[in-house]
Amino acid sequence: MDTPESTGIDIDQQPGYAIRRLHQISVGIFLQEAGEQGVTPVQYAALQVVGNQPGIDQRTLARTIALDTSTTGGVIDRLEARGWLERRMSPEDRRARQLFLTAAGEQALADTIPAMLRAQEQILAPLTERQRAEFMRLLMIVVTQNNDMSRAPGDGGARVAGGAAVGLPRR
């Protein structure tokens, strides 16, 4: 019987393991930077998308931030409970709920953006500007080409929950 030691596989050289570790690091940095705002990376993504697309429906939001609809519903519930988001019945489809930021939600988003940008900068800090561009280019290829393999595929490969692919400061 093979033991993990006898397989010769180095876990540190496995892309899935490295991606999971990078995700942990990314979330940790985001929470360190945005901790005062009390916003998670997923909540930030939802706020940012609704802020960019007022009136977006819940299903479209879920696809846009690559979450399943039930998880997205929970995120919306928490943001609504904080008074940052409101649901309104769609005039075209009474079953659909449109999402809008409240004034408090707009302020929470505005307050979180500087922390999010610092987090993105810190995540990529070990890389030169050229390496950052190449890393993001390659990352987006991997995300886009594997999007359909996700349990919750996103719309468009250029979006990454938590803002990782948008708003990156130039070095």
CA 101/CA 17 separation, integer angstroms: 36
Query: Which CATH entry fits the domain spanning 14-147: 1.10.3720.10, 3.30.1360.10, 3.40.50.2300, 1.10.10.10?
Result: 1.10.10.10
Q: What pTM does this model have?
A: 0.81
pLDDT digits (tens, 9 = 90+) for 112-165: 999 999 999 999 999 999 999 999 999 999 999 998 888 777 775 444 433 433
What tens digit of pLDDT does each residue of 52-62 get? 999 999 999 99
Cα separation, 18 vs 79, whole angstroms: 31
* Domain residue spans of the chain: 14-147
- Distance in angstroms (rounded) separating the CA atoms of residues 55 and 58: 9
Find all residues with CB under 8 Å of 83, minimum gap 6, and list them: 102, 104, 105
Taking alpha carbons only, the member of 25, 107, 97 closest to residue 62 is: 97
